[in-house]
A and B are shown apart, each in its own frame.
Chain A
């Protein structure tokens, strides 16, 4: 038993990770020396990061449970136990959210299309995900003889691995961030960039020229929309002064005039950034209207054509996890994370607020799928390169203007809002008109 601590000391990984775990495990308040945020008052900031000074029991419940379970183990193993618990909880929660999301999507799509959706299996179709899982698990796993066996197997594994890795830095509650990294946002997007590799592996290993073409198109889409995604959160980092997700959430604490939260989405540049981020997130997770890579009605299944059974389910699990992770990051960056929208609503635990916001964004994803038609490949890439990237760059300038005029108050603050709004709406209109210049207006004829 005494050899274990020395064995663990051998695995001396980087200090940030280990002290991050230890900081998560201890109950000391997370002190930030010299906060540089300009948007949050010091008291709000302190309250956002403060420990359980009179916090409600429900709020402290996850941390109390984790400490109780970790207390069964010796001191040196506690960080391992904490990490394993976080992994288990994330997999359980988001796995079941994935299952319910497949059902919710089919029900919502059905209702939008004026039909009930699945309602046979169980009450309101609640056992439909279980039926889907049984179907996927019992299907024959067909691998083409000429396919690259190792790569064909590794592609869904790599995709799912990278998608789940991105969940580690999202703050789910007041002290519920699994991994406290100094460069958390960069970690999130680095792990997301690994998913592109898995798409290529899937297309290549199938030994099917149409799969390869579809994989190339999927990669072109993923790479094109990576740029607006990354550019849209740079203003957030600039204004919060940090790449750490928990500190970005804490920087959005407080309310002006008692009811308007300091969330980034309620500023002009933040609103534009949020919209650009969500459009790029829809494209990054291959969702309609950007789902040409996996369009069932066009390419059979694109780069997933040669996958059947559980591997196919793994690809879709990875897509939904990507959706959930990107929504979680959008909530962290723009919607104030786990914070309540109004001061008197703070009795609701922080993780419940996060869950509500997450469900709202996911409903938005499903709503978009039900409403908009699919974009063609060239329309897709033109939207990314000629519309979203210039808008994101102008948004960066708007955010810089906002930051530099933070000291304007009184009537000048109204001028600040007006100028920022013009800087946001103006390029949008100009670019939009420019891109739709030669196209005739659409006439709708109803049957």
Chain B
């Protein structure tokens, strides 16, 4: 098969799997960031350059920062970052659920006759993307802008400290 795709898939799945299993929260977050970077490499391999750079900019550049800040703000001491091990029953249940879903989906994928077009990857210029975004999907673009604004304002409100000081006790 395609060597580059196999390497990218190996890095992506490997770092995601280890990230979900580690007991050190910061290492988990950093391995997940590596997984996101591998996903960007997959986008680059498939020929969607703009999407790959957007993935790096948004996930590796911004969401990773939010995650790391949240990890550091929700601990009492450095020891809180070493998590308790997952109880065996729970881990086994989760693995069985994951494998079952994987099995069903693999069966569905391998079963349906999917046509893989032998054509070279579609060359998508930023210009075409821009014309589509501002033309056909202009409404969706505006709605996504509103979603992002509202979501981030809400996040700031949720995460900020209690505002008004309580009334002083009567002495």
Contacts and interface: CB of A to CB of B under 8 A. Distances in A.
Direct contact of A and B (CB under 8 A): yes
Contact of B65 (A17, A187, A223): A223
Given A10-B3, A197-B33, A197-B64, A190 B26 contact: no
Interface residues on B, range: 20 to 34
Given A181-B49, A219-B65, A10 B60 contact: no
A70 B78 CA distance: 54
B138 interface: no
B123 A16 contact: yes
Contacts of A193: 56-57, 60-62
Interface stretch (B9-17, B40-48, B89-97): B40-48
B121 A14 contact: yes
Contact of A12 (B2, B50, B78, B126): B2
A305 to B, nearest CB: 17
Contact of A189 (B33, B50, B57, B121): B57
Contacts of B126: 182-183, 242-244
B50 A196 contact: no
B54 A13 contact: no
Nearest to B55: A190
A96 to B, nearest CB: 29
Interface in A1-33: 10-17
B50 A183 contact: yes
A194 interface: yes
B4 interface: yes
Contacts of B57: 186, 189-190, 193
A182 B64 contact: no
Interface string B107-151: 000000000000011010111000000000000000000000000
B120 A15 contact: yes
B22 interface: no
Given A13-B45, A204-B26, A219-B65, A190 B53 contact: yes
Given A194-B60, A194-B61, A200-B68, A186 B53 contact: yes
A12 B57 CA distance: 24
Contacts of B4: 10-13
Given A189-B57, A197-B33, A13 B44 contact: yes
Contacts of A148: 26
Contacts of B44: 13-14, 17
Nearest to B24: A148
Q: Considering residues B30, B49, B69, B127, which has the most beta carbons from chain A within 10 angstroms of its beta carbon?
A: B49
A151 B2 contact: no
Given A11-B3, A196-B61, A200-B68, A182 B53 contact: no
A16 B49 contact: yes
A239 interface: no
Interface string B48-91: 01100110110011101100110010000010000000000000
A42 B146 CA distance: 40
Nearest to B8: A13
Contacts of B49: 14, 16, 181-183, 187
A242 B127 CA distance: 7
Interface string A105-145: 00000000000000000000000000000000000000000
B47 to A, nearest CB: 5
Nearest to B129: A183
Contacts of B30: 151, 201
B10 to A, nearest CB: 15
Contact of A14 (B33, B46, B78): B46
Contact of B47 (A15, A187, A216, A243): A15
Interface in A208-237: 212, 216, 219, 223, 226
Contacts of A14: 44-47, 49, 121
Given A14-B47, A186-B57, 12 more contacts: A11-B4, A14-B44, A16-B49, A182-B126, A186-B54, A190-B53, A190-B61, A193-B60, A193-B62, A196-B61, A197-B64, A226-B61
22 contacts: A14-B49, A15-B47, A15-B123, A181-B49, A183-B49, A186-B57, A187-B49, A190-B53, A190-B56, A193-B60, A194-B56, A194-B61, A197-B33, A197-B60, A197-B61, A204-B26, A207-B78, A219-B65, A219-B69, A241-B127, A242-B127, A244-B126
Name the 3 nearest CB pairs between A and B, nearest first: A193-B61, A190-B56, A190-B57
